[in-house]
Amino acid sequence: MIANSPTANFGGFLLAKKGEEMNFFSHNKLDYDVIKRSKYFNKKWYLETYPDVLKSGMNPIDHYLKKGWKEKHNPSESFDGNAYLKENMDVKNAKMNPLLHYERYGRYEGRRGGIKIKQKVTYNVNVIKKIAHYFNKNFAKLLYRNVIKQNKNKRVLVVLHLFYMESWNAIKLYLDNLKAYDYDLVVTYVRGCYDKRVLSKIKEFNKNVKMYMYPNRGFDIGPFLDVLQKINLADYDIVFKLHSKGIYRKQIYIYNQIFKNKDWFYNLYNGILGEFSVHKVMKAFSNNKNIGVVASKNLIVCDPKHKQNLTQEIAEKYKIKLHKNYRYVAGSCFAIRAEGLEKIKKQNLTIKNFSCTKRGIFSLAHAMERIICAMIEKQGNIIYGLKVPHPIYKSELEIAQKTSSLRLLDDRRFVLDDEFFYRGLEGKKIRNYYVKRIALGDINRSWKGKIFKLHECAPYIYLKGNSQAYNRYCKENKRMFNIEMSQHRFDCLVSCIESKGFNAKSMPVINAADNVIMDGQHRSCYLLSKFGTEHKVRALFIEFVKG
């Protein structure tokens, strides 16, 4: 078993969670697709080698996933699953399918065993790097011994926000790769969401660790910025900003990439704390003084327009100027020069500046995640990316691109509200959309599971003189969705329409399935109060992909 690989002892972690539902490693379509794409599964060879499979009539991939690997069947002549399990006892103890584990994690962790290497002599250093872990687990340290020597006096700080306590086992093994250097560890965690046993393990791992408990505010960014106020950045050269990166969706399409299960987590950590990449990070900072941030290359991204606008709006409140097409690290795990954080620290942001953590709302935490990196580039420094392996998922990617809601942002026939797009459309799959006229009386409104007509809605009732009902509606929106509404804001909207006219591009957005308005309710209610139910307006109709 490889001590420095990120899922060593992961099997023990899984066994410790015995009794819980572990769908993460169950045989499902995702597992099937992984094996189907693997170059180490050969259907023809599998059927010829194991005649019982052919007699059973089962699909060879299904057979291998369900029972074949348990019966010590190999997936091909190129991969020995039994040797892989023998070499990696944590995988064996967790009762994981060897090829499935290798394709998802082992290949990125430098796992030994399994692959049958043909006898070849090579002097290509890139090839040597790829196969070296089969022969010497300390090869990375040997290869980068000069880098380690050059940076032995570098002062390193690791700030880890551990919301998902179960991630510690994997994160600990990435931190093991940093042992060649002198580093201090700060761990932040959330009040009411921690496991004392995990905190004890962290103290055993690093006796000098500093630990801070915070309310659940600002995701990982709020605690990180609060920690900056507690430390002297001049004491450090490099800061590793980490967090536990949970999974609340099994698959996500974002920044023109597909991430499944823990792909994003492993991309973030393999980019800066892998067996080889941790030394590449130190080397990059030493060799190029213009490098300000190092992270996984595929996660250094530019935001779509609506997120740029939302970030700029918050940045202006703090008198921070950003470049229009700023870049940042999606997932906010990176290594950064400590001196580059000084300007961020001068904003004097603490945990008190951040609101309670809620998904679906673009908050100060989301903006600061971007601003940290954007300010590094604005200072003339570079965000440098290290390549990490990432599955393409070609078929899923093609479907995601065709159904992405982002294509609406490039259509000049209409203008979409940035907050609404982030809250209501981002990440949604859209089959089709079109613009057409609709009578105001035909527009519906969904509220608390019920359907209403516009003349029954609070904004229309307010225009007819009932301010109390509208005030209750505003409070409910704030409580349920954290959306700021008030009589004053509505009055300003009405005044703007009456003085400047109605902007036809700011049209209502309607779900084509049931004529339910998704955005533009207040404007539509104003028009209804002026022109009645028969009046027609141009609206954007959206047909969503079901499921």
Whether the pLDDT of residue 129 is over 50: the answer is: yes
| pLDDT at residue 105 in the model | 81
Lowest mean pLDDT among 177-181, 223-227, 479-483: 479-483
Residue 344 to residues 233, 293, 369, 379, Cα–Cα distance (Å): 11, 14, 11, 12
| pLDDT at residue 31 in the model | 87
Question: What CATH architecture does domain 140-386 belong to?
Answer: Alpha-Beta Complex (3.90)
SS3 string, 284-297, reads HHHHCCCEEEEEEH
> Which of 75-89, 92-106, 123-137, 394-408 has maximum average pLDDT?
394-408
In the chain, where are the structural domains located?
A: 10-134, 140-386, 404-544
Identify which has the larger pLDDT, 275 or 439: 439
Looking at residue 516, the DSSP 8-state letter turns out to be E
- Tell me the C-alpha distance between 3 and 265, whole Å: 20
* pLDDT band per the 50, 70, 90 thresholds, residue 166: very high
Instruction: Give 193-228 as a DSSP string.
Output: S--HHHHHHHHHH-TT-EEEEE-SBSTTHHHHHHHH
| pLDDT at residue 127 in the model | 57
- Tell me the C-alpha distance between 46 and 344, whole Å: 58
* pLDDT band per the 50, 70, 90 thresholds, residue 108: confident
- What the block records as the tokens of 538 is 């141009």
Strand boundaries in 391-522, DSSP class E: 430-439, 444-447, 450-453, 509-511, 516-519
Q: What percent of the chain has pLDDT over 90?
A: 73
| pLDDT at residue 18 in the model | 39
For 490-514, write each residue's pLDDT tens digit: 999 999 999 998 888 999 999 999 9
pTM for the full predicted model: 0.75
Per-residue pLDDT averaged across 443-465, rounded? 96
- Nearest one of 388, 278, 401, 268 to 328, comparing CA atoms: 268
Integer Rg of the chain from CA: 27
For 200-258, write each residue's pLDDT tens digit: 999 999 999 999 999 999 999 999 999 999 999 999 999 999 999 987 678 999 999 99
For 324-346, write each residue's pLDDT tens digit: 899 999 999 999 999 999 999 99
* pLDDT band per the 50, 70, 90 thresholds, residue 125: low
Per-residue pLDDT averaged across 312-325, rounded? 93
| pLDDT at residue 14 in the model | 40
Q: Cβ neighbours of residue 544 under 8 Å, at least 6 residues apart?
A: 428, 429, 430, 431, 511, 513
- Nearest one of 186, 171, 1 to 90, comparing CA atoms: 1
Q: What is the mean pLDDT of the chain?
A: 89
